Amino acid sequence: MRPGTLIALLGLALAATLCWSLMVGAVPVRIGVVLNTLFGLDGPRQDFIITRSRLPRGLLAALTGGALALSGAIIQTILRNDLASPKIIGINAGAALGVLTASLLLPKLSASYLPLAAAVGAALAAGLVFLLFELRAVSSARLILIGVALGLFFEAIVDFLLITVPGAAVSGPLIWLTGSLWERGWPELSLIWLPLTVLFAITGLLSYRLDLLRLGRAQAVGLGVRVRRERLVLLTLATMLAALSVSVVGVMGFVGLMAPHLARALVGWRHRLLLPAAGLIGAILVTFADATGRIIAPPAEISAGILTAFIGAPFFIVILWRNRREVQP
Amino acid sequence: MMVQRLSISALTGTIILAGAVFSLATGGRADVGAAEIWQALTGPGQGVALTILQDIRLPRSLAAGLLGMTLGVSGLILQTITLNPLASPAILGINQGAAVGMIGALIWPGLLAPEWLSIAAALVAGFVTFAISGGLAGRIDPMRLVLGGVAVGTFAYAAVRFTFTLDDVLAQQVLRWTVGDIADLRWSAVVRLAAIGLPALALSFALAHRLNLMALGPVGSQSLGHDPRLTLILGLILAAVLCGVSVSVAGPIAFIGLIAPHIARRLIGGDHRGLMPTTALCGAGVMLLADGFSKWLLAPLEAPVGVISALIGAPWFLWLTLRAKELH
Amino acid sequence: MHRLFVCLIGFALALAAVPAAAVEVTHAMGKTQVPDDPRRIVVLELSFVDALAAVSVAPVGIADDSDRDRVVAAYTDIIGQDWVSVGSRKTPSLERIAALAPDLIIADKTRHAGAYDTLSSIAPTIVLDSLTGDYHEALAQAAVIGKAIGKPEEMARRIATHTARMHGYAETFRVKAEGLTAQFGVANTTGLWLHSPNSYVGSLLRLFGFDASMTGANAGDYAATYVPVSLEQLSAIDPDILIVGRYTDPAITDTWADETLFQGLAAVRADHVFAVDAHEWSRLRGIIAAERLGARLAEIMTAL
């Protein structure tokens, strides 16, 4: 099948998943009621559930899923390792630490500041990784290790705070750590849709650069690419994409790791195709996981971040198993 | 040479002694400190101090020491068979896998004894990490190993964090436990740990020669007629057993498996026949010190020992990654 | 004629636009306009169920952690079984809450402060500190709830009755409780959490005349409400009376039963260790709950 057709099909799948997510949850809503509510028609409506809860939530899930997937795709290309992900440049742990620190040390702070704290924490963590990397500037392998080490360190501090600060275990931060869209709505969406869209556009424009970087340092330099600078720009892009996502929906560990893999299996390496495909797959994944989490044991909700890991892990393992003899480009 | 050997032994001995004293002297009661413990040990011994020493602190410190040994040796084996000085049970996802096993035992009690479920899950996690990194083909890519471990660890941790959304009593139990906690270990736990851990340690020591060959690298060792795959499998199983039994007793304690082998290598060099026991002792020393800290830092409250070991170990790991030579 | 008609329509519309008479309620997150006589109330903590039951008002939705038994018989005898579960107290299902079309939501400060704006968009919401508040705060919160549901005098009368009853208990306990320390804790298989003197049960015990054991040099500084303790720490705190609610069976206190240190506790030696229902003592935190606590304590005291 032609890659263009595949991407169109993915787009349709996303639309279908979004529609489905509007209908399912602790309160099942028939398609007729959904349409009534969305288009202001006569008949039974569910204003809060559809327009204030599920619609913004679905859109948020799609946006953040796409952003995480793109971030993962960029990182995997730049570090030339298909096991890399936003997690390994310390973003998830940094964001978690930012949120926890803010909410525990400044409890009077309004909850609407927490996304900011998360973004700051994530950016700081990634920045620290890059700084340390620049100090030793040897290879992407080292960057990965530094990111993993820093991530583990921040996670240790998060665990320390969770255990020792009273009341931490029952409040929001713990839920947020599992990657949940509970209570997320228009306020969070309006915070990030514009920056994310801009970042999506920029990423798309840099597709060709990513293709060149994938060829490897020597070839890229030979083709006139200022490798170090471009790598830094792209990594910053990836950081911002992931940080913005994590700041509103929490830590979703698997999306950035997995979506690029699936996309690559479908459409190949060319980033003009890979990026849209990965973005769509990420969006579908998170939207589907969020909706599914609502219907497994209502009225309890299972966090999307947990479900993306559970759904994704088998796929991931199968793909890695099949590729285990593949040589890294 | 003799002097060097003596000074190394003296150093190791001092660390362990200091750790033991620190661990025994701290605890929930401020009025039972070093002096009271000393009296209880040496003097006629009466009352609370003796009871606390016998029933609570001795088994706990002993457990800490044993845990240090099993985790340290587990880390050493992993570092050797993966030819990667940055490997450890936590980084390869084995710790987290064992944690999933323990959670399973909590949720479905009666399925299998917690220790065995934990070990089984640790084996599965380790196996998956190895498969991802190419171990089944005999050649392990160090980067894929670390990243595969991160991926497996992430997945296992999602499973653990899943329990937070369940019943809040269960969530409370899981939360405290998942960072590694030896607060209420008694003699029964020491026995469980020793029953599986000591034989595993003995077997590991027996593997020392093979590990020496492994460390020569694939080419060098094969020219000496050594089959790396066998060592790989044996080593992995032993590491998983050591890790699994530790996690089943105390929860996943991170970084001991990373730090202890490094300290030991600095002291005694790369020959596994001496390196293994030294690693065991260094691990014990570090755990004892960490245990003491965990009780002393926020007295009278306790910080779980796993958190302390992570707070010490993670910066250490960071420093190692900055210093380490190229992995390839 | 046409003009008059339009004026009438306009007047009627204007009337409809005027909000129903409302009450202004001050709570932990500020002030909220609550309708005069709310009929459809959703509560997100069990202590709020208690307050409603105390004046015989039935909520339409309760966050019961998906376990209807958590709303104990003492409450369902009054409010019935018609309420709908809206999920866990930690993350209640906003959809279920909205589907109930409530006109008042009562939420907990620690758990739900972050969701205040969203909850307010469903219905007027008041937020009270149930989780970390002590007994006296629980009474104050009941008064606030009484005002919010349009029954301030009835609630005040109920609180007065209740206070009298509690003083009655305190009088009964006074002689025996003199100079004794009592400590309450909850246990599961892996740990024991003591409720400090500034917790609901802790402050209740002090009201009844018991001394607190978690203060002073031997127990250190316990700032938190619920404190995890090891056996050693328990032996340092060493209360005269130990009241334990077990969430699991067996709990860690059963594991400790064979140990010399546990057997050396003052409470154990004097056979003053008492088992109570963990859920009732720890989670309910209300007026009716306090009276049940008092009754149970009276039983315990006869054994002393």
A170, A171, A299: residue with CB nearest C96: A299
- pLDDT tens digits, one per residue of C104-122: 999 998 888 888 989 999 9
Tallying the residues shown for chain A, one arrives at: 329
pLDDT at C20: 59
DSSP B135: G
How far is it, in rounded angstroms, from Cα C8 to Cα B46?
94
Average pLDDT over residues B93-107: 84
pLDDT at C40: 95
**Is residue B73 over pLDDT 80?**
yes
Of the ranges A50-59, A288-297, C207-216, which one carries the lowest mean pLDDT score? Answer: C207-216
pLDDT at B142: 74
Give the start-to-end residue ranges of the domains of chain A: 3-322
DSSP C196: P
Domain with residue B44: its CATH number is: 1.10.3470.10
Neighbours of chain B (3+ CB pairs under 8 A): A, C
Q: Which domains does chain C have, with CATH numbers?
A: 16-150 (3.40.50.1980), 174-303 (3.40.50.1980)
- pLDDT tens digits, one per residue of A64-104: 999 999 999 999 998 888 888 888 778 888 888 888 888 77
pLDDT at C235: 87
- pLDDT tens digits, one per residue of B197-246: 999 999 999 989 888 888 887 777 777 777 777 888 888 889 989 988 89
- pLDDT tens digits, one per residue of A135-165: 665 567 777 777 888 888 888 888 788 777 7
Cβ C94 vs Cβ C107: under 8 Å: no
- pLDDT tens digits, one per residue of A184-215: 889 889 888 999 999 999 999 999 888 888 87
Identify the closest residue of chain A to C118 by CA–CA distance.
A183
Identify the closest residue of chain A to B255 by CA–CA distance.
A152
Higher-confidence residue of A320 and B297: namely: B297
Confidence of residue B83 (pLDDT cuts 50, 70, 90): confident
Q: Is B217 left (phi over 0), alpha (psi -120 to 50) or beta?
A: left
How far is it, in rounded angstroms, from Cα C142 to Cα C149?
10
* B14 located within any domain: yes
Cβ B174 vs Cβ B100: under 8 Å: no
Q: Is the reported ipTM for this assembly greater than 0.90?
A: no
Q: Does A51 touch chain C (CB under 8 A)?
A: no
Confidence of residue B327 (pLDDT cuts 50, 70, 90): very low
CB neighbours of C12 closer than 8 A, spacing ≥ 6? none
Confidence of residue C8 (pLDDT cuts 50, 70, 90): low
Average pLDDT over residues A111-122: 79
pLDDT at C18: 47
Cβ A260 vs Cβ A72: under 8 Å: yes
Q: Does C23 touch chain A (CB under 8 A)?
A: no
Confidence of residue B70 (pLDDT cuts 50, 70, 90): very high
* B23 located within any domain: yes
Q: Does A182 touch chain C (CB under 8 A)?
A: yes
Confidence of residue B67 (pLDDT cuts 50, 70, 90): very high
pLDDT at B64: 93
Are A257 and B134 a contacting pair at CB < 8 A?
no
In chain B, residues 98-117 whose CB comes closer than 8 Å to chain A: none
Confidence of residue C144 (pLDDT cuts 50, 70, 90): very high
- Residue A47 has, within 13 A of its CA and on its CB side, a CA count of 7
**Chain mean pLDDT for chain A:** 84
Size of interface A-C (CB pairs under 8 A): 86
What is A3-322's CATH topology?
ABC transporter involved in vitamin B12 uptake, BtuC (1.10.3470)
Q: Which two tokens stand for residue A98?
A: 């930012």
Confidence of residue A265 (pLDDT cuts 50, 70, 90): confident
pLDDT at C219: 47
Q: Does B301 touch chain A (CB under 8 A)?
A: yes
H-assigned helices in chain C:
2-17, 46-54, 73-79, 94-99, 109-112, 116-122, 135-148, 152-177, 200-207, 231-237, 252-256, 260-263, 266-269, 278-283, 287-303
Of the ranges A242-246, B143-147, C68-72, which one carries the lowest mean pLDDT score? Answer: B143-147
Contacts of C252 in chain B (CB under 8 A): 184
pLDDT at B123: 86
CB neighbours of C203 closer than 8 A, spacing ≥ 6? C134, C135, C136, C197
**Is residue C54 over pLDDT 80?**
yes
In angstroms and rounded to an integer, the radius of gyration of the C-alpha atoms of chain A is: 20
**Is residue B328 over pLDDT 50?**
no
- pLDDT tens digits, one per residue of C156-179: 999 999 999 999 999 988 888 888
pLDDT at A91: 82
How far is it, in rounded angstroms, from Cα A251 to Cα C282?
32
The span from the first CA to the last CA of chain A, in angstroms, equals 25
How far is it, in rounded angstroms, from Cα B51 to Cα B45?
9
**Is residue B150 over pLDDT 70?**
yes
Please give the full DSSP string across C201-249, using - where no structure is assigned. Answer: HHHHHHHTTPBPSS-STTT----SSEEEE-HHHHHHH--SEEEEEESSS
The span from the first CA to the last CA of chain C, in angstroms, equals 86
How far is it, in rounded angstroms, from Cα C279 to Cα C291?
15
CB neighbours of C80 closer than 8 A, spacing ≥ 6? C58
Whole-Å CA distances, A137 to A220, A235, A236, B141, B323? 18, 15, 16, 21, 12
Confidence of residue A7 (pLDDT cuts 50, 70, 90): very high
**Residue of A81, A83, A130, A171 best to disrupt the B interface, most CBs of B under 10 A:** A83
**Is residue A283 over pLDDT 90?**
yes
**Is residue C211 over pLDDT 80?**
yes
Average pLDDT over residues C186-200: 88
Cβ B305 vs Cβ B290: under 8 Å: yes
B141, B176, B318: residue with CB nearest A149: B318
Whether cis (ω within 30° of 0) applies to the bond prior to B300 is yes
**Chain mean pLDDT for chain C:** 87
Confidence of residue A230 (pLDDT cuts 50, 70, 90): confident
Confidence of residue C13 (pLDDT cuts 50, 70, 90): low
- Residue C238 has, within 13 A of its CA and on its CB side, a CA count of 16
Helix (H) or strand (E) holding B176, with range, is helix B168-177
Angle of helix A207-214 relative to helix A271-295, nearest 10 degrees? 100
**Is residue B318 over pLDDT 90?**
no
The span from the first CA to the last CA of chain B, in angstroms, equals 33
Highest mean pLDDT among A77-86, A139-148, A167-176, B314-323: A77-86
pLDDT at A135: 66
Higher-confidence residue of B31 and C6: namely: B31
Q: Which two tokens stand for residue C166?
A: 């509690």
Enumerate long-range contacts of C134-141, CB under 8 Å, 24 or more apart.
C134/C198, C134/C199, C134/C200, C134/C202, C134/C203, C135/C200, C135/C201, C135/C203, C135/C204, C135/C207, C135/C285, C135/C290, C136/C203, C138/C47, C138/C200, C138/C285, C138/C286, C138/C287, C138/C290, C139/C163, C139/C287, C141/C47, C141/C48, C141/C51
Higher-confidence residue of C102 and A265: namely: C102
Helix (H) or strand (E) holding C128, with range, is strand C125-128
Are B86 and A150 a contacting pair at CB < 8 A?
no
Count of beta carbons in the 10 Å neighbourhood of residue A42: 6
Identify the closest residue of chain A to B90 by CA–CA distance.
A152
- pLDDT tens digits, one per residue of B243-257: 888 988 888 888 899
How far is it, in rounded angstroms, from Cα C57 to Cα C60?
10
Shortest distance between the Cα of A38 and any Cα of chain B, in A, equals: 32
Which residue's entry shows tokens 């028609």? A41
Average pLDDT over residues C2-28: 63
Percent of chain B's residues with pLDDT above 90: 18
pLDDT at C17: 46
Higher-confidence residue of B116 and B192: namely: B192
**Is residue C3 over pLDDT 50?**
yes
- pLDDT tens digits, one per residue of B157-181: 788 777 776 767 777 777 777 777 8
- pLDDT tens digits, one per residue of A296-310: 888 888 889 889 988
Confidence of residue B185 (pLDDT cuts 50, 70, 90): confident
The closest of A193, B300, B214, B186 to C236, measured between CA atoms, is: B300
Percent of chain C's residues with pLDDT above 90: 57
Higher-confidence residue of B228 and C223: namely: B228
B155, B168, B304: residue with CB nearest A309: B155
In angstroms and rounded to an integer, the radius of gyration of the C-alpha atoms of chain B is: 20
E-assigned strand segments in chain A: none
CA A131 to chain centre: 23
How far is it, in rounded angstroms, from Cα C196 to Cα C203?
8
Cβ C36 vs Cβ C18: under 8 Å: no
Angle at B20 between CA B16 and CA B21, to 5 degrees: 120
Helix (H) or strand (E) holding C27, with range, is strand C22-27
Q: Rounded to 5 degrees, what are φ and ψ at B223?
A: -65, -20
Residue B175 identity? L
How far is it, in rounded angstroms, from Cα C185 to Cα C197?
11
In chain B, residues 125-144 whose CB comes closer than 8 Å to chain A: 128, 131-132, 134, 136-137, 141, 143-144
State the residue range of the domain holding B175. 2-323
CA B97 to chain centre: 14
**Is residue C223 over pLDDT 70?**
no
Confidence of residue A173 (pLDDT cuts 50, 70, 90): low
How many structural domains are present in chain B? 1
Of the ranges B59-68, B221-230, C21-30, which one carries the lowest mean pLDDT score? Answer: B221-230
